[in-house]
A = this chain, B = another copy of it.
Amino acid sequence: MMKSIILIVLDGLGDRPGSDLQNRTPLQAAFRPNLNWLASHGINGIMHPISPGIRCGSDTSHMSLLGYDPKVYYPGRGPFEALGLGMDIRPGDLAFRANFATNRDGVIVDRRAGRENKGNEELADAISLDMGEYSFRVKSGVEHRAALVVSGPDLSDMIGDSDPHREGLPPEKIRPTDPSGDRTAEVMNAYLEEARRILSDHRVNKERVKNGRLPGNELLVRSAGKVPAIPSFTEKNRMKGACVVGSPWLKGLCRLLRMDVFDVPGATGTVGSNYRGKIEKAVDLTSSHDFVLVNIKATDVAGHDGNYPLKRDVIEDIDRAMEPLKSIGDHAVICVTGDHSTPCSFKDHSGDPVPIVFYTDGVMNDGVHLFDELSSASGSLRITSYNVMDILMQLAGRSDKFGS
């Protein structure tokens, strides 16, 4: 019998001991009966995102958890910036991180146009346009930030930035870094010139100047990344995939992989999200889908804040929401882990491994009874993120045999 799979990623879960918590990690300090139940009935260990000591992003780690080697498929920062703003990207598209900047007489005087955001949506719309075979879409993000997605034939990411990365210099002409980028560089320079013309004449910017504020009259682009020809989740893993995730970039990644994306009322993508609703939704989806990814972002948010007690409390809330997972081992395989560690003492992603547990009816418990950075390390597994899908598939009875 083939089982369904639920992979629950507690973002930035791993941590280091904190004096705020009597030298325990937030996970160790949390009252977590349900996580401990899974540990007591499952296979435990530590998981290195990508490989031991690699300090990775949520993007690369999730790709590899989903069975895609990021060394092969990671398209770079540009496409993920676009995904993060909720833009759709498709294989063959070229995407950039972008800034609205201030250009005075051909020189960039503020790379961030005073970090102004008001009106940027209008500016972005104004420079979202088609030119010949190419279409350009710009979306405004936080403050001065934006993303640009270019669609059209034979785009190449072998090109440089228009962002001079310093003030007091003119915007760079986009230059190919390889002859294969020649045509794309031309296309981009023509577009950026047109964008400059439109932005300079735009009502929003004229008003800003009138009010003595900095106009966003230059779109500086950087980190070109071409979206690779990436097989769909179903093509790659021969499963019908769903996700219950909050972060826009992760929804975008799942859409790119043609997984079904589900929203849950009250799910906010941060602390205080509807954890129970997300997990119940995932449990429901096991009847219609073979694989469900759940990401809960709140643990990472608390880690970036350096807030030990908050991270502990978030874990307690999530643990309470996990109650329904204990009764579905007859038809589902459950894995709980993190995508990386975000130690409160470091306030950023570290390269520490994260605890992992696999549970379904009929597996052998490896003598571990608690789920945390220390206890899980006495379990049987020392794996990388790229092994997770293979283990899930085989526990679900879904693997092909290699050989005979």
Q: Which residue numbers of A lie inside 8 Å of B, CB to CB?
A: 16-17, 25, 46, 50-61, 70, 74, 77, 80, 345-346, 348-353, 362-364, 366-367, 373-374, 377-383, 387-395, 397, 399-404
Docked complex Cα distance between A350 and B400 (Å) = 10
Question: Which residue of B has the minimal Cβ distance to A17?
Answer: B364
Question: Which residue of B has the minimal Cβ distance to A367?
Answer: B374
Structural contact, B367 and A378, CB atoms closer than 8 A: yes
Q: Which single member of B16, B51, B364, B399 contacts A364 (CB below 8 Å)?
A: B16
Structural contact, B387 and A362, CB atoms closer than 8 A: no
Cβ of A335 to closest chain B Cβ, rounded Å? 11
Given contacts A60-B403, A366-B377, A377-B380, 13 further A-B contacts (CB under 8 A): A52-B381, A52-B383, A54-B394, A55-B400, A57-B402, A60-B402, A77-B404, A349-B401, A350-B394, A353-B380, A378-B378, A380-B382, A381-B382
Cβ of A353 to closest chain B Cβ, rounded Å? 7
**Known interface pairs A363-B16, A401-B55, A402-B70. Does A351 touch B25 (Cβ–Cβ under 8 Å)?**
no
Docked complex Cα distance between A374 and B379 (Å) = 10
17 contacts across the A-B interface (CB closer than 8 A): A16-B363, A16-B364, A25-B364, A50-B402, A52-B387, A53-B387, A53-B388, A54-B402, A56-B401, A56-B402, A57-B402, A57-B403, A351-B394, A351-B399, A364-B374, A366-B374, A366-B377
Question: Which residue of B has the minimal Cβ distance to A59?
Answer: B403
Structural contact, B403 and A74, CB atoms closer than 8 A: yes
Residues in chain B near residue A348, CB distance under 8 A: 401
Docked complex Cα distance between A308 and B383 (Å) = 29
Structural contact, B25 and A390, CB atoms closer than 8 A: no
Cβ of A145 to closest chain B Cβ, rounded Å? 13
Question: Which residue of B has the minimal Cβ distance to A76?
Answer: B403
Q: Which single member of B51, B393, B403 contacts A53 (CB below 8 Å)?
A: B393
Residues in chain B near residue A362, CB distance under 8 A: 16-17, 345
Cβ of A333 to closest chain B Cβ, rounded Å? 11
**Known interface pairs A352-B394, A377-B380. Does A402 touch B55 (Cβ–Cβ under 8 Å)?**
yes
Residues in chain B near residue A390, CB distance under 8 A: 51-54, 351
Interface centre among A58, A379, A387 (most CB of B within 10 A): A387
Docked complex Cα distance between A54 and B395 (Å) = 10
Cβ of A132 to closest chain B Cβ, rounded Å? 32
Residues in chain B near residue A404, CB distance under 8 A: 57-59, 77, 80
Question: Which residue of B has the minimal Cβ distance to A387?
Answer: B52
Structural contact, B46 and A403, CB atoms closer than 8 A: no
Structural contact, A52 and B391, CB atoms closer than 8 A: yes
Question: Which residue of B has the minimal Cβ distance to A57?
Answer: B403
Question: Which residue of B has the minimal Cβ distance to A52?
Answer: B387
Residues in chain B near residue A58, CB distance under 8 A: 403-404
Question: Which residue of B has the minimal Cβ distance to A377?
Answer: B380
Residues in chain B near residue A388, CB distance under 8 A: 53
Those 4 A-B pairs whose CB atoms lie nearest each other, nearest first: A57-B403, A53-B390, A351-B394, A60-B403
Interface centre among A383, A400, A402, A404 (most CB of B within 10 A): A402
Docked complex Cα distance between A321 and B239 (Å) = 45
Cβ of A356 to closest chain B Cβ, rounded Å? 11
Question: Which residue of B has the minimal Cβ distance to A389?
Answer: B53
Residues in chain B near residue A387, CB distance under 8 A: 51-53
Structural contact, A46 and B380, CB atoms closer than 8 A: yes
